[in-house]
Amino acid sequence: MRVPIIAGNWKMYKTPKETRQFIEQFQSQVKNIQHKEVIICPPFISIPAAVETLGQSMIQVGAQDAHFCNDGAYTGNISPVMLREIGVRYVIIGHSERRQEGENDEIINRKIKNVLNNGLKVIFCVGETLIQREKNATESVLQVQLMQGLQGIAVGDLSRIIIAYEPVWAIGTGKTATPSQANDVHQFIRQIIGHKYSALQSEEIRIQYGGSVKPENIQLLMKQPDIDGVLVGGASLQVDSFLKIIHYDQTE
């Protein structure tokens, strides 16, 4: 039984003050959440405000990136050691907005390993561009991203990795993959995991969908057998819409 996992990626939105205000409004309405994991990923600077305001809440805090070293002369970067110390539990690695800025599969693989080595969990993003989809290259692109991103990662660490399938053409564009399009890709990802690891891992790994998820499409997405949760950008920035997404199973 894969526990549904819903994460909000706030990108470069919300100052510490705005983060506190959001969580103060949001928190009381997610108190009784059961059989679901909810994660908020604010910008680095707003993480302490999120952790403090959440207190003992079940809602977890994630970061949007982390470096592949623990310390060093890396101006402007943040390491997983630092993130763990301030209460971060998850780190998003390989988001397409970072890949577009030059992050490649080798760097992503090093980052994933370092996050895991520091006892944190990873949301590992993969996805094809529109041009790649139109060339029927979705599967080959994902295969490379997955095999290289997971290179050298032991089977015992896989339970701390969530895969987020985020077609680049659906991120922030208002275009969503249809639920069945997304489910087909999730099945393909399970096959890759099955080949690389085993049938058990392919069954157990949680795969989120991301790309213009909103209250209007969450129910159909979550009805798909291979979609185990969502990674939400824009719609996680408003309390109302994020709550509707989290409570997708209570509004049918």
Q: Give a three-class secondary structure readout of 176-245.
A: CCCHHHHHHHHHHHHHHHHHHCCHHHHHHCEEEEECCCCCCCHHHHHHCCCCCEEEECHHHCCHHHHHHH
For residue 72, give the amino acid letter: G
Among 234, 241, 242, 248, binds ligand PEP (CB under 6 A): 234
Told to check if 8 binds ligand PEP by CB under 6 A, we report: no
Name the residue with tokens 């623990």.
Answer: 70
- For helices 138-149 and 179-196, angle between their N-to-C axes, nearest 10 degrees: 40
Show the site string, 179-218: x = touches ligand PEP by CB under 6 A, - = not: -------------------------------xxxx-----
Residue 173: how many other CB atoms lie within 10 Å: 12
Interface with ligand PEP includes 59 (CB under 6 A)? no
Site stretch for ligand PEP (CB under 6 A), options 30-38, 177-185, 197-205, 233-241: 233-241
Q: Does 4 bind ligand PEP (CB under 6 A)?
A: no
Q: What is the smallest separation between the CB atom of 1 and ligand PEP, expressed in angstroms?
A: 25
Check residue 245 for interaction with ligand PEP (CB under 6 A). Answer: no
**Least gap, CB of 167 to ligand PEP (angstroms):** 9
Single out the segment in contact with ligand PEP by CB under 6 A; choices: 178-186, 190-198, 220-228, 231-239: 231-239
Helical pair 105-117 and 138-149, crossing angle rounded to 10 deg: 40
* Minimum separation from the CB atom of position 222 to ligand PEP (A): 15
Active site residues: 95, 166
Nearer to ligand PEP, 49 or 126 (CB): 126
232 binds ligand PEP (CB under 6 A): yes
The mark string for 19-48 relative to ligand PEP (x by CB under 6 A, - otherwise) is: ------------------------------
Residue 64 contacts ligand PEP per CB under 6 A: no
Token pair recorded at residue 17: 């003050």
Q: How far is the CB of 214 from ligand PEP (least distance, A)?
A: 8
Based on the shown chain and the rule CB under 6 A, indicate whether residue 224 belongs to the binding site for ligand PEP.
Answer: no
Q: Are 233 and 172 in contact (CB under 8 A)?
A: yes
Q: How many residues bind ligand PEP (CB under 6 A)?
A: 14
Sites of contact with ligand PEP (CB under 6 A): 9, 11, 166, 171-172, 210-213, 231-235
